[in-house]
Structure 1
Amino acid sequence: MKKLLYQLDTDSIPSVFDNVVAHDGGADVVVPYGGITPANVGPLVEGAIFTRGPKDKKNTALFVGGSDLVAGETLFSAIQKQFFGSFRVSVMLDSNGANTTAAACVAYLEQGRSLAGMDAVILGGTGPVGQRVAVMLTQAGASVRLVGRQLSRTQGVCERLSQRFGMTITPVEAADRDARGAAIRDAEIVVSTGAAGVSMLEEGQWSHGSRLKLIADANASPPLGIDGIDMKDRATPRHGALAFGPLGFGALKLALHRECVGRLFESNDQTLDAEQIFERARALLAQS
């Protein structure tokens, strides 16, 4: 029986990236749908849960993607509300690659060390990847500050994360590069998750950080978000800290994405979001 993955994208045009990785992850057929919302997803979910017998339902799965994490979370929740009893299929959320990218990054940051009690700062943190990095660093025991350009928006993001995950993340406003430099002054961990092509920090702003131990950049489009880091850095010593570039943890991100897709077809009752995907990243890295 063919393994069918229905790619439900909140954007009007479904992601080619997600489609390719889904095939590589073990789906025999990937059917992409764009412009999916809670209002129109119902018939698609019904088609997935009512068409195969109990033993065969594991061969149908759903993937929620798109560039908007909030829209993805809302759709993800709406899908699960339609499940009942054994009438359900496995579903994964990875809007904008946020869960898999963040999980790969944080898994490397904590490899061989404890992050418990460490002071972490997320630059450009109000975006999808930044939000998930903040969640996972907090789950790993770090004290997290989320930095954004507008305080009201940053506060709103932190409040939403607190409600969703039951954790405390501190909002910080930093409208320009100088303010971002001030925000990281006492940080032990710095992760940049800003928009592609936006320089978040100059090398001189972090190279003299007396407490800085770990620094990572998730932006794979030149110029990098943090000057002085190489795209391929993976625990590379730089100015007394270990640096991680986007390609340094990118291979794990792709492997994780594929592995999670494959797991969807192991049973029909799996729900893969931040917590579950982070645990898979830890396990994959431990096996490597």
Structure 2
Amino acid sequence: MAKLILHMLSPLKHMSPFDVNMALDAGYDSVTPYTNVTLEEIEPLVQDAMFSRSPRDAVRTGIFIGGKDAIQALDMVERAKKTLLKPFEISIFADPAGSFTTAAAMVACVEKVLKEKKQRSLSGTKIVVYGATGVVGFSSSVIAALEGAHVTLAGYNGPERVEKATHEIRKRFGVETYFADASDHEKVLDLLVNSEVALCAGKAGVQILSAEDISKAKNLLVSADVNAVPPLGIEGVGLHDDGKELPGGSCGIGALAIGNVKYQTEFRLFKKMATSDTPLAIDFRDAFKLARELV
């Protein structure tokens, strides 16, 4: 049987060791990183990977797209998909900075707690996303909005960047999201008290919400944090918390509870691609579908 070969493309200087380890552990025989890859280079790289194998073995060839920019990764996926030619089609999986699988895990964990402890669904729920211009924040905003949530992207440095992100989400995915200024604590708190779910996807080691903030948010149902570096993004939410009740009656979900689902999601998507009899194209939508099954 032909070897399982994975070509890992990144626009950055380095490919993530996390993703390399994941791919090898999932069963790939060969993993080769390509760095500083531009959008224009996707087509020739995919062609080389595709035409160097017989149609029978094409499905045992995969392309992984990394980096740290969700939009750039999605553009690379589209360019790669347009390059494919039957019967030489190969599989494609995008997960820039682990953001698609992390966002999928976070939203899936929130959905589970909402259902089990608050008898609510994502649809119609008011969600504020802090750190929304980052890859995880952006991706989780899209996932939640596609599930019918009322999503507001909070901009820590003003509304301009998050406003641009909402336009991008509407253009690419056909769903409405909203933007707000969160450039000072008063504005951060104002958004929180008017929301039912808070997703914290800010920089590592930066506290976004204090325990006092959480206690003041009487409408809050669930808050989730992906920051595992002290100080944590939400004071009072432990790393392993998975629906722990917080002062004020809301529930908290910690970074390692989310990370456990993220790890399983990424590993199983690599495994799925490696064992599939047909070529796959995997992005955050596939990640969320799987994460829902895992929580």
TM-score bracket relative to the smaller structure:
over 0.9
The TM-score with structure 1 as length reference comes to 0.95
Alignment gaps of 5+ in structure 2: 116-120
User: For 1:89 and 1:25, how far apart are their aligned partners in 2?
Assistant: 17
User: For 1:177 and 1:2, how far apart are their aligned partners in 2?
Assistant: 54
Residue in 2 aligned with 1:282?
Answer: 292
Partner residue of 1:238 out of 226, 238, 246: 246
After superposition, where does 1:1-288 map in structure 2 within 5 Å? 1-111=2-112, 113=115, 114-148=121-155, 149-239=157-247, 240-265=249-274, 266-285=276-295
SS at 2:39 equivalent: coil
Write the letter of the residue equivalent to 1:274.
Answer: F
The question of whether the paired residues in 2 share the 8 Å contact of 1:122 and 1:130 is answered with yes
The question of whether the paired residues in 2 share the 8 Å contact of 1:61 and 1:268 is answered with no
CA displacement 1:215-247 (0-9 Å, x = unmatched): 000112221111121111111111211110110
The TM-score with structure 2 as length reference comes to 0.93
Change (3 A) 1:137 1:264: same
CA displacement 1:104-145 (0-9 Å, x = unmatched): 111111116122211111011111100111111122221111
User: For 1:231 and 1:257, how far apart are their aligned partners in 2?
Assistant: 20
SS at 1:249 equivalent: helix
For residue 80 of structure 1, report the CA deviation from its aligned partner.
1.5
SS at 1:41 equivalent: helix
For residue 261 of structure 1, report the CA deviation from its aligned partner.
0.7
Alignment gaps of 5+ in structure 1: none
The question of whether the paired residues in 2 share the 8 Å contact of 1:60 and 1:89 is answered with yes
For residue 280 of structure 1, report the CA deviation from its aligned partner.
1.3
Looking at secondary structure, tell me which structure has more helix per residue.
Answer: 2
Any runs of at least 4 consecutive aligned residues in structure 1 with deviations exceeding 3 A, and if so which? none
Write the letter of the residue equivalent to 2:267.
Answer: R
Paired residue total: 285
Identical-pair percentage: 32
Residue in 1 aligned with 2:118?
Answer: none
User: For 1:135 and 1:195, how far apart are their aligned partners in 2?
Assistant: 19
User: For 1:29 and 1:224, how far apart are their aligned partners in 2?
Assistant: 37
Give the aligned CA root-mean-square deviation in angstroms.
1.4
